[in-house]
Amino acid sequence: MTFHYDVIVIGAGHAGCEAAHAAARMGARTCLITMDMNKIGQMSCNPAVGGIAKGQIVREIDALGGKMGEVTDACSIQFRMLNRSKGPAMWSPRSQADRGKFIWAWRKVLENTPNLSIWQDTVQSFVFADEHSDSDASYSLNKKDDIGTETDNTAVPRGTIAGVVTKMGVRFEAKAVVLTAGTFLNGLMHIGRTMIKGGRVGEEASYGLTEQLREFGFVTDRMKTGTPVRLDGRTIDFSLAERQEGDSDFHHFSFLPREDELSLSGEGSLPQLPCWTIQTNEKVHEILREGLPDSPLYNGQIQSIGPRYCPSIETKIVTFADKDHHLLFLEPEGTDTQEYYLNGFSSSLPIDIQLEALHQIPALRNAVAYRPGYAIEYDFFDPTQLHHTLETKLCRGLFFAGQVNGTTGYEEAAGQGLLAGVNAALLVQGREPFTLSRDEAYIGVLVDDLVTKGVDEPYRMFTSRAEYRILLRQDDADMRLTEKGYKLGLADNRRYSLLLEKKEWIEKILEFCNTFHVKLSFNSVLESLGSTPLKEGTRLVSLVNRPELNLMLLAGYVPELRELLDSVPNRKEEIIEAAEIRIKYAGYIEREKMVAEKISRLENIHLRPDFDYNSLQQLTIEARQKLSRIRPVTVGQASRIPGVSPADINILLVLLGR
């Protein structure tokens, strides 16, 4: 056994699993250190992956060669494609997963990844090389300039990571370290006025790392998140709840064929289970309001900021005081358990208040809880202290990923973890860093938002955050990213060959539709389908463009098209859908590409990391402060910094001779 590695990953949540797998897959000798090997890939909150914009991130992780999509598919107990009533840019896959099998599927992946070791222990401190001297003025982080603003010299690293020391006293050495500690850094749970130290219910928190990094010069703060009560399904009256089934078509997360993933669960395809919907009522709200004086959110016990887009039930009844009910979802935790997750009822109220309120819902009149909902406060680091590679600006070789960067959600964490793991491996191998732009991936949008704008509340991805969402559809993540993953050494030959095959067949379908001519004699078919008759002959592509028509429907009347579609060898439905989207949305896609190319010109104008913005008196004071703190790499990034106006950007362009 060795204690010398290329890359060390701290924490085996969703970020840590992807980071460790990516680094090892790319050939870096990697060690994943986790407190509990039986909690690898633990779903700390709801037993589901994906959702609005989050599902696109999972597809991108899979396209690059990550494993979240495969693991989720192997453990899926219900799959749904959300937003199907809207355009394909909004389609978002989501899957309920078997929580227990999800853990063991991830263990199977990690324990069989070459170059990857796992060590069960708690990291207590970092080991730094070339640590700065306090007398070295060139590394001062809080030096005041002549207008009273802070000058941030984070462009110059203060040191280099050398390894970690664990609670057991073991010293591991590495050239790169990825911190993915989730909610464990000084974690503190709240249930009413009761406070319990820990990173998750029943698990210890991690101490010492935040304090060491703060002393090193990192800016840190506290955030809060919460989780709902877990209920015993045997005590729920499902006859008083509304059944919600999943989809039964070809969609799933991974771009690999289904049979490639199912071996991970060890059981093949799992039984598909329904979810259920219920509602709160005025009696529920009345009890919750009476309990507010004991709510940590409202009695001053919790000072940190919680997630805006996943509020607690007590926040809902205060913020939306005019609403007499709120929708709740009963989600199964797995095929071999009676445990149900009550989505929409996150709470930190006392246990008796939570139960009394729930018992006012008819379906939960006799409900028994496995454990109550609770809130948790934890440390995070200002993500503007990171490069787009997720390497910290203050310390060479140290990367942050996941909730320690102020994000919320498994998918956002996993996307960051994969990017950090890739760049940690590239760093130790002396290769060029890897980043994703805003028009290439939702992961690119996520990371750019974090490092450019920072966070003042837990960050959650939405399709509305992406200005190029027509280009970032879930159906074409492989077309955008698999070749990149293949060149990195992350995506394997099989995945790459499937991409080439998909491209080939999409082009064949597009070419056929653009060259095949439909005659006026086809009008009888169009009339039978309720579609407007032709006034003259036209190409088949114009018919596919009609909202009421599609390729499979037309194939029933065009034998040549039927023959072509029947000859697609693999993933037929996926390829036909992708080709159809390309046809129906061609104008929108091309227009958005043109906008992206125009904006990308600003991304090609680079800024020196040591540039003295405070010397530019033409800029506003706020712009000087923000530019000095963020240290944008390009003018494009500078233009996205809150407080930097278009006029400030024009001044920069003039001074740069543009």
Looking at residue 259, its amino acid is: E
CA 411 to each of CA 14, 399, 468, 498, 574: distance values in angstroms, whole numbers, following the listed order = 8, 18, 19, 24, 23
Q: Fold identical between 4-132+139-144+153-182+378-488 and 604-655?
A: no
Helices (H) and strands (E) in the chain, counts: 22, 24
Which pLDDT value is given to residue 150? 35
Q: Is the pTM of this model over 0.95?
A: no
Would you state the pLDDT for residue 140?
29
Q: What would the pLDDT profile of 91-129 be if each residue is shown by its tens digit?
A: 999 999 999 999 999 999 999 999 999 999 999 999 999
Overall average pLDDT of the 435-452 stretch: 96
Return the bridge partners of 305, or none: 223
| pLDDT of 552 above 80 | yes
Domains of the chain, residue spans: 4-132+139-144+153-182+378-488, 228-375, 493-592, 604-655
Q: Is the pLDDT of residue 152 over 50?
A: no
CA dist., res. 47 & res. 228, Å (int): 12
The DSSP 8-state label assigned to residue 401 in this structure reads -
CATH 1.10.645.10 for domain 228-375, yes or no, is no
Question: Do residues 20 and 61 touch, judged by C-beta distance below 8 A?
Answer: no
DSSP-derived letter for residue 459 is B
Q: Which helix (H) or strand (E) holds 22?
A: helix 14-25
The domain 493-592: what is its CATH number? 1.10.10.1800
Helix (H) or strand (E) holding 9: strand 4-10
Task: Give the residue with greater pLDDT, 306 vs 477.
Answer: 477
Task: Answer whether 107's CB lies under 8 Å from 61's CB.
Answer: no
Provide the pLDDT confidence category of residue 261 given band limits of 50, 70 and 90. low
**What is the distance between the alpha carbons of residues 198 and 189, in angstroms, rounded to a whole number?**
6
Q: Where are the alpha helices (DSSP H) in 146-281?
A: 209-216, 258-262
Q: Which CATH number is associated with domain 4-132+139-144+153-182+378-488?
A: 3.50.50.60
Contact 253, 69 (CB under 8 A): yes
Band (pLDDT 50/70/90 cuts) for residue 304 is confident
Residue of 97, 91, 78 lying closest to 52 (CA atoms): 91
Q: What is the CATH number of domain 604-655?
A: 1.10.150.570
